[in-house]
Amino acid sequence: MSQDQDHSLQDLRKPRHLLRGEITYSIAKEEDANIVHELGYQDAKVRYLTYLYQHRTLIESIVACHLGLTSANSCRLAEVEDWIDGSFNICIRVDVYRIDQILGQQVMIRFPLPYRVGQNVCPGNADEKIHYETGTYAWLQENCPDIPIPRLYGFGLSTGKTFTLLSNMPCLTRALQYFRRAVLGWLGYPSPSIYVPHRIEQAGSLRTGYILMKVVKL
C-alpha cells in the first residue's frame, strides 16, 4: 500500500465534527442524512454565534427600542454559556433592569440559524420563517387569548424592517393606531395587526432577523 493510500485511510478513520457530536466514515456511510452537508454546520455555527456576540451591544439597543425603554443600559444579554442552541434557532435571554438596577423582567431574543434554514441556498428563508411564526403568534394572541403562549414584543427582518407591539409604541403612535383600528372596525373592516412598523435604525446594522418574546418559566 502506498503512503498516499495509507494517509487516505487514516483520514477516513478520523472522526469529523457535527452539531450532534462526532462521526466517522464507517458510521456516516450507513446514515440516510446528507452528512457531507452537515459537516459544514459546526464552522457555520461558530461564525454566526461569534457575529451575534460581537454585536451584543447593538442587540441590547434593539431590545430596548422594542420594549419602549429610554436607555439600552437597562438591557443585558446573558453570557454565551447561557445561550440556548436549538436545531433551527439560537435563543438569547436578555435581562431588563429597572432604574434601581433590580431585575425587572426577562425577555428572549431568538435568531433563526441561517445555515439550518437554507439561507445561503435560498436567500430570504430566514425572514420567511420569522413571518409565519410571528403571524401565528399574532393571530393566536388576538383570536385565542385563552391559549397560553409567550408574549411577542416585536420582530425584525434582515432587511431592517421592524415591528413592535402597539402597547409599547410612543403615546402619539398608539393614539393614532387605536383611532385607526376603531374607525376600521366601525366601517366593518378587519382590524390591523397589533404589531406596527417601528423604525429602529440599529436593526438595519444588524442585518439578521429575530423574534423578541417574553421568557417562559416552567
Q: Is the pLDDT of residue 197 over 90?
A: yes
Q: Is the pLDDT of residue 9 over 50?
A: no
**Three-state DSSP class for 109?**
strand
Cα(165)–Cα(163) distance, integer angstroms? 7
The CA-CA-CA angle for residues 123, 125, 131, to 5°, reads: 130
Q: Is residue 96 part of a domain?
A: yes
Q: Residue 114 is part of which domain span? A: 34-214
Q: Is residue 169 part of a domain?
A: yes
Kindly report the pTM of this predicted structure.
0.81
Q: Is residue 51 part of a domain?
A: yes
Q: Is residue 88 part of a domain?
A: yes
**Which residue has better confidence, 202 or 103?**
202
Q: Can you give the pLDDT at residue 32?
A: 45
Q: Is residue 87 part of a domain?
A: yes
Q: Can you give the pLDDT at residue 39?
A: 55
Contacts of 112 (CB under 8 A, 6+ apart): 88, 89, 119, 126, 129, 130, 209
Q: Range with the lowest mean pLDDT among 38-47, 120-129, 146-155?
A: 38-47
**CB-CB contact of 78 with 94 (8 Å):** yes
Helices 56-66 + 41-54 axis angle, to 10: 70
Note the pLDDT tens digit of each residue in 11-63. Answer: 545 544 444 545 444 444 445 444 445 555 778 888 999 999 999 999 999 99
Helices (H), 111-170: 125-143
Q: Can you give the pLDDT at residue 63?
A: 97
Domain count, the chain: 1
**Which residue has better confidence, 61 or 104?**
61
Q: E-strand spans in the chain?
A: 16-18, 21-23, 75-77, 84-85, 89-97, 103-112, 152-156, 162-165, 195-197, 210-214
Q: Residues of 174-185 as b/e, b for ≥16 C-beta within 10 angstroms? A: eeebeeebeeee
Q: Is residue 22 part of a domain?
A: no
Highest mean pLDDT among 55-64, 100-109, 181-190, 194-203: 55-64
Cα(48)–Cα(151) distance, integer angstroms? 26
Q: Can you give the pLDDT at residue 69?
A: 92
